[in-house]
Structure 1
Amino acid sequence: MFYFSLAVIIAFMLVHILTNYIKFLDRKPKDRLMSFVSGGSIAYVFLHLVPELTHYQEVADKATLPFGIESLDYPTYLAALVGIAFFYGINQLNEKSKAKNEDEQNVSQSSSFVFALEIFGFALYNVLIGYLLINLSGDKISEYLIYFVVFSFHFIANNRILHLTHEDLFTHIGRWVLAISVFIGWLLYYFTDITDLTIAFFSSFLTGGIVLNILNDELPAEKNSSYPSFIVGLILITLLLEFFI
């Protein structure tokens, strides 16, 4: 699966680079699309990633954990909570920076420091997605395709928010950093020693981050959301997971 996984990674990189040129994201139907994407992403998380937390916890129970962690009852679930807290903290810094700049400078963008911090956070996020591609997809082409569909839409949703927030900074710097980071994650998987415990904690942290980002960035405001589109996305990914994995 080396070459097929590489093809998926290259496709992910192109998604990051080309998102700005998807013009229909600036039109009214984008809210229906975002509702569809969020439904599919939530189905993937709760039917594929969250159930894996039980397996990851079993891995952690059998492993020799560092001092302090070994006394915790559910370390992998706590890693998922850390993922939620980490990305929520970045989001709050971004919102507060934007509000401060609007009050003081009449500028709707956050500071360059917050932009760098946010891109660092999403670069880490992308490294994990690239790193976990093969482990989460196994040896079935159908699983790779579902992984690509879910996360490419997820990337498009995140990129859209980052572009609207940071504009030229994201266009000139951010999208390239994110594109490279997913490739770096894939390289790390192939050229570093992998342990089941490493996979367990990285996957748990990523699951928490994905849950937060779906609820925070992908679901449109209630007045603009489309419940039918949300349900269609949820059902589609559910059917794919049930019949092809």
Structure 2
Amino acid sequence: MLALVLAVVHLSARRMVFLESIPRSKFLSIAGGVSVAYVFIHILPELKEHQESIAESAEILSFLELHAYLIAMLGLIIFYGLEKAVQDSKKKNSDTENKPGRSAFWVHISSFFVYNGLIGYLLVHREESGLLNLLLYGTAMALHFIVVDFGLREHHKDRYDREGRWILASAILVGWAIGAMSEIPEALLALLFAFLSGSIILNVLKEEIPQERQSSFWAFTIGGIGYVILLLSVG
């Protein structure tokens, strides 16, 4: 059910017309704060445990024994590179479509397909068990998807509405289905988990930091601190 809810978020986020404003909607800033809070309170602390899994894995992965955080940094760098490539493509097409080229669109959407698939997979395989922890994860990711969806629609416009949102919604269900039917090796999951944490941080901050967004620092802070308090109180 939660996988379906997350998929519906991608399909319906375009109807949240109140988000399309300058200054940036405070709801988006709050959602970004919640996403980052979940990464720092739940995902990053688990990287230490995942490092142990990597260390016990095949020799080809053992060199990463103490460097799960480097994989998180790699996730951040890769998604920053994708964002830069999309912006460059958009500038090249500014005289015609004012949106990235089709090849840039597919590279961007393909990367987020993997990204969403991993989030869907972690609905089944996470360190924390129990319904409450699942709901906390689902809430954080639903708010995160709204932030991501807003950014992708701003880049790709009608192309995202026609194709992108359906692909990303299906990615969540594909990831959940893979998780329900199988389990990937723990060492590989550790690397993907680390990669996801860096990616989430970048995908939130790239929407909050640009000056033209006129984002709300206080809304972002309230969202982050509020969710930290909630996570710690139930942890």
The separation in 1 between residues aligned to 2:92 and 2:8, in whole angstroms, is: 34
Letter in 1 for 2:126: L
Matched, 1:81 2:70: no
**Which residue does 1:111 correspond to in 2?**
101
Which of 56, 62, 68 in structure 2 is aligned with 1:70? 62
What is the CA–CA distance in structure 1 between the aligned matches of 2:193 and 2:83, rounded to whole Å?
21
Offset at residue 225 of structure 1 (A)? 2.0
In structure 2, which of residues 133, 144, 156 is the aligned counterpart of residue 143 of structure 1?
133
1:153 to 109, 126, 143: 143
Change in CA separation of 1:81 and 1:227 when aligned onto 2, cut-off 3 Å: closer
RMSD: 1.9
In the TM superposition, what whole-angstrom CA distance separates every residue of 1:70-101 from its partner, at most 9, and x where no partner exists? 33453422321221122111111101101111
Instruction: Tell me the alpha carbon deviations over residues 143-162 of structure 1, each in whole angstroms, 9 at most, x when there is no partner.
Output: 11111111111111111111
TM-score (norm 2): 0.92
TM-score (norm 1): 0.89
CA distance in 2, matches of 1:163, 1:223: 15
Q: Could you tell me how far apart the structure 2 residues matched to 1:216 and 1:233 are? A: 17
The equivalent of 2:87 in structure 1 is 95
Taking only the aligned residue pairs, the percentage that are identical comes to 32
Whether 1:163 aligns to 2:153 is yes
Task: Find the aligned partners of 1:82 and 1:232 in 2 and give their Cα distance.
Answer: 28
188 and 89 in structure 1: CA distance in 2 versus 1, 3 angstrom threshold: same
Residue 50 of structure 2 aligns with an amino acid whose one-letter code is Y
CA distance in 2, matches of 1:87, 1:20: 23
Counterpart residue identity of residue 135, structure 1: H
C-alpha change, 1:138 and 1:209, in structure 2 (3 Å) is: same
| Residue aligning to 2:191 | 201
Gaps of 5+ in 1: 1-6
Q: Answer whether contact 1:41 1:154 (CA < 8 A) is retained.
A: yes
Bigger mean CA offset, 26-35 vs 199-208: 26-35
Unpaired segments of 5 or more residues in structure 2?
Answer: none
**Structure 1 stretch displaced more, 42-51 or 168-177:** 42-51
Structure 1 residue 179 displacement after superposition: 0.3
1:53 is matched with 47
Letter in 1 for 2:6: F
> Is the contact made by 2:23 and 2:215 (CA closer than 8 Å) also made in structure 1?
no
Rounded to whole Å, the distance in 2 between the matches of 1:171 and 1:223 is 22
**For residues 220 and 149 of structure 1, what CA distance do their matches in structure 2 show?**
25
Looking at structure 1, the residues matched to 154 and 86 of structure 2 have their Cα atoms a distance apart, in angstroms, of: 12
